Structure 1
């Protein structure tokens, strides 16, 4: 049976030019800021070399299975999250818009971090941060409001050094979105991903030959086997895999929908998953080699250093490393250039979810949707994150949207798709019908039991912690409005966007290949056609 080239009265869908373009774009989405600044610290704090055991198990039992779930949904039902979930079951559309809202919120603050990286790329050439890298980052650069001494938690006092690169990031992102999937997103990844690998590879090799690098690597890889008995270490491993692969909030669903009907899904999925993990390991080697050098220069143990993960690692600790090493400006330019490229390829994938979803529901032209989405996001991004209180907002919104929003999305997706609607067999059949690597029945256990169980535990634990303790010691009223308010925005936005009528009926659709089970097809209008 030949694959249909169109779906009902819908126009032909954009497509990646081929498998290589898709793989590079998917890797570009997965490899982001978290690979560079989150994985090394998480691994170090959770058993060092021993952490790689739960990490690999989490990759095989959660990361790859849920990546296949995203691919199967997007490729079979041909759309962004709202379209896909609407075609699975009418009332499930709201979950699709919930994922879109998550992407919308993340894009707004994610761009700000890329702007910081661009600024520091320029600062690298003359080491503008001086000797006090912490003071420069929060004071001279961010001009952070001093809330400890009565400073405001929210202001509209714009910081030009943050505002200008942030505007440039948004202009570049809008240009890529307007150009489309093949001419925009794919071309950007074909250029930036190889550059990222080369630049970061040079940086890692250089780090390995620094004085003290071996001490850093020993600190990173020395296994603490007793840590494997701590449930929190295993939770940390699943958390890292989950957030690193860009799964369960619409990105891989949307990307898979741009593949040809007969496109292989599982083999490219394995390439993406292992490439992402490989880059994380590479980042860990580079980061801890550099930290070993810094500890050597300061005459302290690596374990005594502060700031080994997150923004502090990138914008405080690493500038301190750069300032003390030979050819520091070049090293700094490579690091912050890599950070900016990794962030940008992830940003455009996040924005594409939002743009594609609006295109499909409201029958908008690609250029129109890209411009509107880009401009609205840019304005909100500038107002919220280029001010003297931008860091507080970024930190708070990131915590709530990621640790609660994305995790809740993943749990709901697995429960509804696998348990409530029993669509697991259909999706497994779809993947196996067109792919070389066959997915066995083990996949049901992973996406139906392991993933929702682990993530539900993470979700409940995180909510309890946030209720009992003010996050990072921030003002409780501020956390109520900005933190919990973020969740309200996600939910209300998802419901509101589900209410308008579709300009084109999403259920006027043919799912291919036909699922042979009569019991499944009779419950699904679109799959029975």
Structure 2
């Protein structure tokens, strides 16, 4: 109508109102008083997203997977998977959270109600993550404390925890490295930090390490007081936790580049083994890495973006933060491979023969071993483990009740055999389940909610709809690459090992039960929703698949009506 001045759509508690500047009858428009917290500054949000996406996985998971898959050959599928899979899903979650301004559970009533179980699964997965992820940060805190000494405790074989296999080859020309040799750094990690030799696998994990329990308690205390006032507090904390790692990485990169033999690691990192591109496992690992690195499916991006203003440019945020994340992984690769090249030079072996095990051992054995033999080793050890702690802390989101639950749930990972539990939870509690969640989320949004409806939501926020590239990725490519990971992981599951321990068959079955315990809420809720919705089966399906009208849609319809002469 002429003279109509519509109120801009907002999100929060609905309130009926209207604006009218002529004498015609008032036209109702849904407006809102937004009671939801907002970020104090735009940079608070960006650093929080970067802090979540850039975590320990960038420092240990990416370099190790790259190491296992032929160095430079892995970078090709990694970049392709990022462009066509990871970044589109990252953008999708930021846009969903900002438009609907709600969390991972309640958002489904606005998308496709029958998929609400996905939100519950995300919560269970997040719980499993908290059981082991904070334990890894506690290990870093133990190292940080141990670093305050003139001589770092993992530099020699003269300690009470060392064995006859301990071999210190730095600064010595007549030492031969064999398959049974163990470095001082490895024995410090396995026999002093973990005391894993006191456990008999998963059958007898032994008692709780009180030193690690104290470290974990301190970590949870820091997490709680960083978040107890919501985004107003966490938005300030990330200014330190999200930026400090880059300062440390730069320092370590410069130092690593000056180490003898560093060039050998860089060559291995950048020179592709082209035959590796013909192996399916390389592409599966690349897809899995970019998915875990950017973090869609965990619900955190939904939560963080829900505190943004409605018109915030989430497209630009997605591109910037994704680029920062991927570049961080690439830089971390240079940092790690310069060190691996140095270690290969000292041991007189090939670069591919340096690292033994997958997972945190790359952080807690390989790096401390190299740092211990640098000039100013105490300084470099301190800043390295500060970086690890901050990388972990700004990826953790919990409140007081969850802090208590997560701390109690983490006790099994603090035992002498806790590292075995950490590995099991990492593999089954998160791995397969979160990929299934991401796949179903992509299907629900692009197929059931509808890519056109979703594009209109983005247009309402940004003023322009996403291009054809994003639509094709959301509808076809991203779901396809997630389905590819799921099928490939089911067809060929590698044996699970840690150090010299091979996980028994019964523990693998337990792992699948853990995975099922998070995924099962999706079909359970689907059945519940269909049974409790009134009407015929056809009517029930229509109701369960149709999103509830959001406040923004009511606003948009009212404004369209107002524009009719």
**Pairing 1:478–2:478 present:** no
**Pairing 1:403–2:431 present:** yes
Equivalent in the alignment of 1:62: 85
Relative to its length, the structure with more helix (as a share) is 1
CA contact (8 A) 1:129 1:319 kept: yes
Equivalent in the alignment of 1:445: 472
Distance in 1 (CA, whole Å) between partners of 2:280 and 2:90 is: 24
**Pairing 1:80–2:86 present:** no
Equivalent in the alignment of 1:228: 277
CA contact (8 A) 2:202 2:420 kept: no
Structure 1 151/95 Cα, relative in aligned 2: closer, same or farther at 3 Å? closer
* Pairwise CA distance, 1:301: 2.4
Match of 1:462 among 486, 489, 493: 489
Equivalent in the alignment of 2:543: none
CA contact (8 A) 2:118 2:521 kept: no
* Pairwise CA distance, 1:237: 1.7
Q: Counterparts of 1:425-440 in structure 2 under 5 Å?
A: 425-435=452-462, 439-440=466-467
The TM-score normalised by the length of structure 1 is 0.85
Equivalent in the alignment of 1:510: 551
CA contact (8 A) 1:267 1:435 kept: no
CA contact (8 A) 1:307 1:316 kept: no
**Pairing 1:343–2:392 present:** yes
CA contact (8 A) 2:11 2:100 kept: no
Distance in 2 (CA, whole Å) between partners of 1:336 and 1:489 is: 34
Equivalent in the alignment of 2:10: 4
CA contact (8 A) 1:27 1:272 kept: yes
Match of 1:129 among 135, 142, 154: 154
Q: After superposition, what is the alpha-carbon deviation per residue over 1:166-222, rounded to whole angstroms, capped at 9, x for unaligned? A: 111111111122121122x21111122121211221111111111111111111111
2:153 partner SS: coil
Structure 1 92/346 Cα, relative in aligned 2: closer, same or farther at 3 Å? same
**Pairing 1:139–2:152 present:** no
Q: After superposition, what is the alpha-carbon deviation per residue over 1:327-384, rounded to whole angstroms, capped at 9, x for unaligned? A: 2122222222111111111123xx3xxxxxxxxxxxxxxxxxx211111111211x22
Distance in 2 (CA, whole Å) between partners of 1:71 and 1:200 is: 27
CA contact (8 A) 2:262 2:340 kept: yes
Match of 1:118 among 133, 141, 161: 141
Structure 1 90/493 Cα, relative in aligned 2: closer, same or farther at 3 Å? closer
Structure 1 438/145 Cα, relative in aligned 2: closer, same or farther at 3 Å? farther
Distance in 1 (CA, whole Å) between partners of 2:298 and 2:82 is: 18
2:396 partner SS: helix
**Pairing 1:384–2:412 present:** yes
Distance in 1 (CA, whole Å) between partners of 2:463 and 2:508 is: 48
Equivalent in the alignment of 1:362: none
Distance in 2 (CA, whole Å) between partners of 1:497 and 1:138 is: 43
Equivalent in the alignment of 2:365: 316
Equivalent in the alignment of 2:383: 334
Structure 1 121/437 Cα, relative in aligned 2: closer, same or farther at 3 Å? farther
Structure 1 496/12 Cα, relative in aligned 2: closer, same or farther at 3 Å? farther
Structure 2: unaligned runs, 5 residues or longer: 1-5, 16-32, 157-183, 533-546, 561-565
Distance in 2 (CA, whole Å) between partners of 1:497 and 1:104 is: 19
CA contact (8 A) 1:8 1:509 kept: no
Equivalent in the alignment of 1:358: none
Match of 1:279 among 315, 328, 334: 328
Distance in 1 (CA, whole Å) between partners of 2:478 and 2:206 is: 41
Match of 2:244 among 188, 191, 195: 195
CA contact (8 A) 2:11 2:34 kept: no
Distance in 2 (CA, whole Å) between partners of 1:87 and 1:337 is: 41
1:324 partner SS: coil
* Pairwise CA distance, 1:268: 1.0
Q: Give the alignment's Cα RMSD to 1 decimal.
A: 2.8
Instruction: Report how many aligned residue pairs link the two structures.
Output: 488
The TM-score normalised by the length of structure 2 is 0.80
* Pairwise CA distance, 1:297: 2.0
* Pairwise CA distance, 1:44: 2.8
State which drifts further: 202-211 or 430-439: 430-439
CA contact (8 A) 2:201 2:417 kept: no
Q: Which has the larger radius of gyration?
A: 2
